[in-house]
């Protein structure tokens, strides 16, 4: 990919949005949050009116995994589904049988039930070539495909991947062979790129400047263009020196050839964009429970609302819950320290047998009668061995407690981050998916993620818990 052509705008946008974030923050310190709405995935997938689900989000949060898992789930619930993936991890692609780059959907083997899952991996160059081939007679198409500027454009210009993902979506939708299309979006810093990049590229290619520069002759003699003409010749002169005459000529030939066959990049980008606003399209924002990812998700949510594009909800992916979340990090650490203190003194005091502390936890359950340890105190002869094994067990226990403390610290940070998002967007339904210890790279793993997406259960404790 080539560098982003409009970084300055992006920075401005980020700053603007971060101001919005400040002002949206509630004033009071002690907030009492209502729990977020729970995103119910199955009704969305089952509804025959749902025709397109788009998974968006910033880089690396799990868009591809979520898209594939939703596709599999919908298929196993009886629908005929196609998943359009973009740059899937190698092993995932292999396990779905889509690692060959032929740019057409393939039936995925090994799904359960009556539905069908088809999947493909986007080949952006191939998709672009197809567009050219579909719109130009063979001779002209060949000329465009051979044009060096076209080649660098299709191989990875900023925005080409997004543009072609939309193009492919349009093609799949037009074939009308599937009940449901699940779309993954390209890796990018910002989820907004999926919406913005195609238009940006379209405007650039259709832009006035590119036309003026590549066809300055057309301007000759027009009134009021004098200054521009001087500017133009100076510009083409300077650019020619910099870029070489050939590149400019390539661009010029390309634009002329595309013009007569294609009818404008921007028009086309607009057309596919409309598809995203059509009823039957649902967006899912995927985010990790981290500040940056959720901030991006918030921008995206706001943008969708502004564009009147329907948001189904937020998938909060890779969250860390705990089956022992009533034991705080602080208590776990204190307990671990207790165990790591040498117990020799205790032994001398004859307390070695009292390994059972009274029930101090103010839990909801009825107090347990404290009882002396049923095991008899070790005899003096046994003591050294017994001591070693007790020490070993204590060491393991301390390790488990420290591990738990880390988990709890992570959990409360994730919870705070989530609650901040919820405070800003209480209307957004949320599905939480646990972080699995390993990668997700086969159908079983996708099924597991699908179950977690749909189980309507929170991984993290509710606010205030």
Partner 1 sequence: MSRLQVVSGKGGTGKTTVAAALALALATAGKRTLLVEVEGRQGIAQLFETEALPYEERKIAVAPGGGEVHALAIDPELALLDYLQMFYKLGGAGRALKKLGAIDFATTIAPGLRDVLLTGKACEAVRRKDRSGRFVYDYVVMDAPPTGRITRFLNVNDEVAGLAKIGPIHNQAQAVMRVLKSAETAVHLVTLLEEMPVQETVDGIAELRAARLPVGRVIVNMVRPQSLDAADLELVRTVPRASLARSLSAAGLGGARRGGHAERLVEPLLGQAEEYAERYALEQEQRSVLGELGLPLHELPLLAEGMDLAGLYELATELRKQGVS
Ligand X SMILES: Nc1ncnc2c1ncn2[C@@H]1O[C@H](COP(=O)(O)OP(=O)(O)OP(=O)(O)O)[C@@H](O)[C@H]1O
Residue placing its CB nearer to Mg ion in the complex, 64 or 95: 64
CB 290 within 8 A of CB 416: no
244 part of the interface to partner 1, by CB under 8 A = yes
Q: Which two tokens stand for residue 440?
A: 């997700």
Residue 171 touches which of partner 1, ligand X, Mg ion, none (Cβ within 5-8 Å per kind): none
444 part of the interface to partner 1, by CB under 8 A = no
383 part of the interface to partner 1, by CB under 8 A = no
CB of 460 to ligand X, least distance (A): 14
Residue placing its CB nearer to ligand X in the complex, 75 or 286: 286
Q: Under 8 Å CB-to-CB from 33, ≥6 apart: which residues?
A: 419, 422, 423, 463, 464
Cα gap 444→421, rounded to integer Å: 31
3-state secondary structure string, the chain? CCCCCCHHHHHHHHHHHHHHHHHHCCCCCCCCCCCCCECCHHHHHHCCCCCEEEEECCCCCCHHHHHHHHHHHHHHCCCEEEEEECCCCHHHHHHHCCCCCCCCCEECCCCCCCCEEEEEECCHHHHHHHHHHHHCCHHHHHHHHHCHHHHHHHHHCCCHHHHHHHHHHHHHHHHCCCCEEEECCCCCCCCCHHHHHHHHHHHHHHCHHHHHHHCHHHHCCCCCCHHHHHHHHHHHHHHHHHHCHHHHHHHHHHHHHHHHHHCCHHHHHHHHHHHHHCCCEEEEEEECCCHHHHHHHHHHHHHHHHCCCCEEEEEEEEECCCCCCCCCHHHHHHHHHHHHCCCHHHHHCCCCCCCCCCCCCCCCCCCCCCCCCCCCCCCHHHHHHHHHHHHHHHHHHHHHHHHHHHHHHHHHHHHHHHHHHHHHCCCCCEEEEECCCCCCCCHHHHHHHHHHHHCCCCCCCCCCC
Residue 263 touches which of ligand X, partner 1, Mg ion, none (Cβ within 5-8 Å per kind): none
CB of 18 to ligand X, least distance (A): 14
Residue placing its CB nearer to ligand X in the complex, 60 or 264: 60
CA 101 vs. chain centroid, Å, equals: 23
The only residue of 399, 444, 451, 462 in contact with partner 1, by rule CB under 8 A: 399
Tell me which stretch binds ligand X (CB under 6 A): 174-182, 226-234, 361-369, 430-438. Answer: 430-438
CB of 47 to partner 1, least distance (A): 33
List the beta bridge partners of residue 52.
181, 281
CB 394 within 8 A of CB 339: yes
404 part of the interface to partner 1, by CB under 8 A = yes
Residue 347 touches which of Mg ion, ligand X, partner 1, none (Cβ within 5-8 Å per kind): none
Residue 65 touches which of partner 1, Mg ion, ligand X, none (Cβ within 5-8 Å per kind): ligand X
Residue placing its CB nearer to ligand X in the complex, 7 or 237: 7
355 part of the interface to partner 1, by CB under 8 A = yes
Residue placing its CB nearer to partner 1 in the complex, 110 or 244: 244
Q: Under 8 Å CB-to-CB from 96, ≥6 apart: which residues?
A: 68, 88, 108, 119, 443
Residue 221 touches which of partner 1, Mg ion, ligand X, none (Cβ within 5-8 Å per kind): none
Residue placing its CB nearer to partner 1 in the complex, 32 or 364: 364
Residue 361 touches which of partner 1, ligand X, Mg ion, none (Cβ within 5-8 Å per kind): partner 1
Q: Which of residues 70-89 bind partner 1 (CB under 8 A)?
A: 89
401 part of the interface to partner 1, by CB under 8 A = yes
Cα gap 183→127, rounded to integer Å: 15
Cα gap 412→11, rounded to integer Å: 30
CB of 62 to partner 1, least distance (A): 11
Residue placing its CB nearer to ligand X in the complex, 88 or 115: 88
CB of 445 to Mg ion, least distance (A): 15
Residue placing its CB nearer to ligand X in the complex, 187 or 321: 187
247 part of the interface to partner 1, by CB under 8 A = yes
Q: Which of residues 213-242 bind partner 1 (CB under 8 A)?
A: 213, 231, 234-235, 238-242
64 part of the interface to Mg ion, by CB under 5 A = yes
Q: Which of residues 282-301 bind partner 1 (CB under 8 A)?
A: 291
CB of 66 to ligand X, least distance (A): 7
Q: Which of residues 12-71 bind partner 1 (CB under 8 A)?
A: 58-60
Q: Which of residues 408-427 bind partner 1 (CB under 8 A)?
A: 409-410, 413
61 part of the interface to ligand X, by CB under 6 A = yes
The only residue of 25, 31, 107, 189 in contact with partner 1, by rule CB under 8 A: 189
The only residue of 1, 89, 309, 339 in contact with ligand X, by rule CB under 6 A: 89
Residues in contact with ligand X by the rule CB under 6 A: 57, 59-65, 87, 89, 187, 189, 292, 317-318, 433, 435-436, 439-440, 449
Residues in contact with Mg ion by the rule CB under 5 A: 63-64
């Amino acid at each position: 990919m080539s560098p982003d052509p409009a970084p300055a705008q992006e920075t401005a946008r980020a700053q603007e949005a971060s101001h919005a974030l400040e002002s949206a923050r509630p004033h009071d310190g002690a907030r009492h949050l209502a729990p977020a709405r729970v995103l119910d995935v199955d009704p969305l997938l089952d509804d025959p009116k749902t025709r397109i689900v788009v998974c968006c989000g910033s880089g690396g949060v799990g868009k591809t995994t979520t898209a594939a898992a939703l596709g599999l789930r919908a298929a196993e619930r009886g629908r005929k589904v196609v998943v359009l993936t973009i740059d899937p991890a190698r092993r995932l692609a292999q396990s779905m049988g889509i690692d060959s780059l032929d740019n057409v959907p393939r039936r995925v083997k090994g799904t359960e039930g009556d539905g069908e899952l088809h999947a493909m991996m986007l080949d952006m160059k191939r998709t672009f070539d197809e567009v050219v081939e579909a719109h130009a007679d063979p001779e002209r198409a060949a000329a465009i495909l051979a044009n060096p500027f076209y080649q660098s454009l299709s191989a990875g210009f900023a925005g080409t991947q997004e543009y072609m993902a939309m193009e492919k979506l349009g093609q799949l939708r037009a074939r009308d062979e599937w009940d449901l299309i699940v779309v993954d979006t390209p890796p990018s810093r910002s989820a907004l790129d999926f919406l913005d990049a195609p238009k940006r590229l379209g405007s650039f290619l259709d832009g006035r400047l590119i036309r003026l520069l590549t066809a300055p002759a057309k301007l000759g003699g027009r009134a009021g263009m004098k200054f521009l003409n001087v500017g133009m010749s100076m510009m083409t002169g300077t650019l020619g020196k910099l870029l070489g005459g050939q590149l400019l000529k390539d661009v010029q030939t390309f634009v002329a050839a595309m013009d007569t066959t294609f009818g404008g990049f921007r028009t086309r980008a607009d057309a596919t964009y409309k598809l995203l606003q059509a009823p039957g399209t649902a967006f899912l924002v995927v985010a990790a429970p981290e500040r940056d990812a959720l901030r991006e998700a918030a921008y995206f949510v706001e943008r969708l609302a502004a564009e009147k594009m329907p948001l189904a909800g937020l998938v909060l992916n890779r969250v860390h819950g705990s089956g022992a979340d009533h034991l705080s990090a602080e208590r776990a650490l204190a307990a671990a320290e207790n165990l790591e203190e040498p117990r020799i003194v205790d032994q001398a005091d004859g307390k070695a047998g009292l390994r059972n502390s009274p029930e101090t936890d103010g839990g909801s359950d009825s107090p347990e009668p404290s009882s002396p340890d049923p095991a008899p105190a070790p005899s003096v002869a046994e003591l050294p061995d017994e001591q070693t094994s007790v020490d070993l067990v204590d060491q393991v226990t301390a390790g488990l407690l420290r591990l738990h403390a880390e988990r709890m610290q992570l959990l409360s940070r994730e919870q705070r981050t989530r609650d901040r998002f919820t405070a800003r967007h209480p209307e957004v339904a949320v599905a939480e998916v646990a972080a699995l210890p390993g990668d997700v790279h086969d159908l079983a793993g996708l099924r597991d993620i699908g179950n977690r997406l749909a189980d309507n259960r929170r991984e993290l404790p509710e606010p205030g818990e």
